[in-house]
Amino acid sequence: MSYVPPNNWINGDILDATELKANNDAARKHVNQDIVGAELGNESFDYDSLQVGEFEPIASSHRFVTGEVKGLHNDIQGINRSYFTSHIKPGQQTDLNAKAWHPIAECGHFVTIDQSADLLINFGATFACGENGRIVAYPRRYPSKIQMRYYDGSQWFDIGGTRAFAYEEHYNTVTATASTADGPSKMLDNVNGYASDQGVEKNFRRWVGWCWHVQNLPPGDYVFGVFVNAGVEEGFSSARNFTIETFYH
């Protein structure tokens, strides 16, 4: 709605200060209040009018901030560990086909894309998987699956190229019977038999890291996060880093 001054003059009219002040007050009210209310009423006040960026009226385009980085970081202190467990699974705890995705703390972000853009996502964390107190018929080292997933407002999608695994630290030294639990025994050494130093089990603590390029992501609201499908009863991650950098086309 265009601005209409309450008072008008033509050449030769006397300029009254009260009328001039009324015109100025009406202009300020229009710019700060009425123009917004009127445009919202007739739906001409569009989404890009509220966005952070630079509008280019000559080209009728909106330039958004590019190279923006969002992210989180945690160090290796015990209080910053993010734990996960396979106890939440309804079926066999070591079955990775039974999907029970557990989000990893500080490794997810809500992202609003205002126009087509690329995302550069960096992730890194150390994973440690404890033993299973399960009943087994033979010794085996079970994995936990780590993967990035994203939500587009309607459903979750797996990003297959980000798939990684972390393995159980403990290993059975002998073939177990059906009534024997898998105990906290030593890791199998392929050269010297079963290792005498249980500290070698810590070699299965591993760093998982990658950089993933999401191309031509259409405008919308998304959630990107890293999840773990646990194959052990107790595991944790530490030294976590997760960043998302946005590049508009």
- Domain with residue 105: its CATH number is 2.60.120
Q: What is the pLDDT of residue 110?
A: 86
> In this structure, what token pair is assigned to residue 86?
């396979």
Query: Quick check: is 10 in a domain?
Result: no
| Mean per-residue pLDDT, 196-209 | 65
End-to-end C-alpha distance for the chain, whole angstroms: 33
| Helices and strands, number each (H, E), in the chain | 2, 14
| 116, pLDDT greater than 50 | yes
Number of domains in the chain: 2
Residues 36 and 156 in one domain: no
| Mean per-residue pLDDT, 218-231 | 91
Band (pLDDT 50/70/90 cuts) for residue 176 is very low
Q: What is the pLDDT of residue 155?
A: 92
Residues 167 and 238 in one domain: yes
Band (pLDDT 50/70/90 cuts) for residue 150 is very high
Q: Where are the alpha helices (DSSP H) in the chain?
A: 17-29, 35-41
7-26, pLDDT tens digit by residue?
A: 888 888 888 899 989 988 88
Q: What is the pLDDT of residue 227?
A: 95
Residues 113 and 202 in one domain: yes
Residues 93 and 105 in one domain: yes
Q: What is the pLDDT of residue 226?
A: 95
Most confident of 31-35, 56-60, 62-66, 151-155: 151-155
Residue 145 and residue 163 in contact, taking contact as beta carbons nearer than 8 Å: yes
Whole domain around residue 35: which residue ranges?
17-63
Residues 49 and 77 in one domain: no
Give dist(CA 4, CA 223) in Å, integer.
46
Residues 96 and 24 in one domain: no
Q: What is the pLDDT of residue 210?
A: 92
Residues 204 and 141 in one domain: yes
Percent of the chain with pLDDT strictly greater than 70: 65
Q: Which residues contact 213 (CB under 8 A, 6 or more apart)?
A: 118, 119, 120, 121
Burial of 129 (0-12, 13-18, 19+ CB in 10 A): buried
Residues 86 and 56 in one domain: no
Mean pLDDT rounded to a whole number for the chain: 75
Backbone phi, then psi, for 118, in 5-degree steps?
-110, 145
Strand partners, 53: 64
Give dist(CA 220, CA 231) in Å, integer.
34
| Mean per-residue pLDDT, 196-210 | 67
Residues 111 and 89 in one domain: yes
| Mean per-residue pLDDT, 72-76 | 74
Residues 37 and 98 in one domain: no
Query: Quick check: is 7 in a domain?
Result: no
